[in-house]
Amino acid sequence: MDKEKIESGGEFLIKETAAEDVFIPEELNEEQQMIIETCEGFLEAEVFPNLDRIDRQEEGLMRNLIYKAGELGLLGISLPEEYEGFNQDFVTSMLASDAMGAGYSFSVAYSAHTGIGTLPILYYGTKEQKEHYLPKLASGEWAAAYCLTEPNAGSDANSGKTKAVLSEDGKHYILNGQKMWITNGGFADIQTVFAKIDNDRVYSAFIVEKNWPGVVINAEERKMGIKGSSTVQIFYNDVKVPVENLLGKRGGGFRIALNILHMGRVKLGGTVLGAARRAITQSVQYGNERKQFGQPISNFGAIKHKLGEQVIRTFATESAVYRVSKNIDDATAILMAEGKEKPQATIEAIGTFAIEAALLKVFGSEALNYVVDEAVQIFGGMGFSSETDVDRAYRDSRINRIFEGTNEINRLLVADTTIKKALRVGFDVVRYARHVVRESDKEAEIAVSKMYCYEEKQHCINNYKKAVLFLLGVATDAFQKDLFNEQEVLCNISDTIMQTYTAESTLLRVKKLDETANEKYTEEHRDILDVTIYDAASIIRKAGHDAINSLPDSVKGKEIMIERIDLFTTNVKPVNVKDARRRIADRLIDANKYCF
């Protein structure tokens, strides 16, 4: 493996990636395709016929579905074979999350069990803990939950009050406290619980079993969406936790929580894909069936705009999700070659891509919000009726902007982590920004005029990267240590980073499809790319203007800074976005389902 070609987290801003070095979903092997088909078959047979029953939280139904998924091996995709798993790579586990994402409330229960519920034990458990718990979690005999949030500790998770005190005989920790918004909490047999030992400043983590005395589970919460997902408060009243059930090291709980959140965020970027594709398929099928003014409403330009844009945002999200998934696998392989066990290597690799994980959580959840909102609009009055699945999709989508850290927190993380990483690797963004101010406008214009197609698109992406780094530099220079209190500016910068990464990921995917003569490649893929890069320019330009105009009044040369942002974002080849979206929509309409 050529380490020079392996992209590290955040490195996309200062490195040009070759299309041949990224993974795209069109390259799935036969085994991966079988896993997808198994997931889809499970949803068709067990979930979709029972959606109303699931939403009513029929006693035992969701728990039984988790068990049935375990019987098919769908709960152990990421687990080693010695623990009854399939030992698949991160890309394959992402494919399963993606496919199951179409399952509404079930996808939440599935993701919580296989991800934040099971993986802390895999990544941080002792040999004895793994042998005891993982086989039963893989089979579905036991279900898992993750207990971090408290009434006064949400985004600031480490401010929680749950306590653990060592018993006099030294055999148990006595656990007291309260957790809330616990997914799967109503039926989970195993809980990963975070608490502070004695007067520790940071969390430790514990494996707690549901049937131990003192574990009290509240009634199910009533929610706007994901109604079928079990969500409860759990109280711990003098629960005796064997010392052997401390997960990881004392005081290591916050690091566990942080790393699991990175994993949950990037996985959420994949989970929204299944939901988006299903909503798009429902949108186009209804558009083809519903007639107004003597013709299907899918014939109308306003509807085609919505269908085309649904596809574009989903495709861009998917391109970025599988790009970073392969990056994580590559980083894991390098760490394993250096002597680390796969679980440790995997969680370290995921942590390396914290920037990408946070941005995909935000971009993906907001892309799905657009898709389901427009699905309701295409359905019209029927979309507002609970008789249709798009009503359920619309309500279920909203939680994704809150899950795994709110989108506001994740936007701040994207910019904050990028700045800190730049400093850590010795990249001086302030000096870079000053260098950019001295660049010649004429040179940039000549460069773009001589390029065509993919080269021209790559030039646009490179300019977006310059815009991002320029903004990071001027904002850091202007605000100094106070930058981290300027949340609006950090969010502006994060939006430029998100647009750059997803646009580049779309470029690399389409270019690879074209250059390898992949049978799935069509001219409409180039339309998707054209609109994505064209629209990214205006979003980056607006965010850049807002950030610069928000600098202190004492900062000189704002006009020049604005000119540089314009230079990097206005030299984009004009695109007839109307016709491009119509061509994308027409292909979707002909297929009568999502086909990209």
Active site positions, annotated: 404
- DSSP H or E stretch at residue 190: strand 190-197
CB 151 within 8 A of CB 169: no
- Distances, alpha carbon 130 to alpha carbons 82, 127, 134, in Å: 10, 5, 5
- Identify any residues that bridge with 191 across adjacent strands, giving them in sequence order: 145, 208
Rounded distance, CA 190 to CA 121, Å?
10
Residue 26 per-residue DSSP state: G
AA identity, residue 571: N
Dihedral sign (CA 443, 449, 452, 454): positive
φ, ψ of residue 376 in degrees (nearest 5): -60, -40
φ, ψ of residue 172 in degrees (nearest 5): -135, 155
Give the closest residue to 531 by CA, choosing from 359, 313, 374. Answer: 313
> Could you tell me the two tokens for 391?
């009503």
- Tell me, letter by letter, the H, E, C secondary structure of 201-235: CCCEEEEEECCCCCEEECCCCCCCCCCCCCEEEEE
Rounded distance, CA 50 to CA 48, Å?
5
CB 459 within 8 A of CB 447: yes
Residue by residue, DSSP assigns 440-465 as -HHHHHHHHHT--THHHHHHHHHHHH
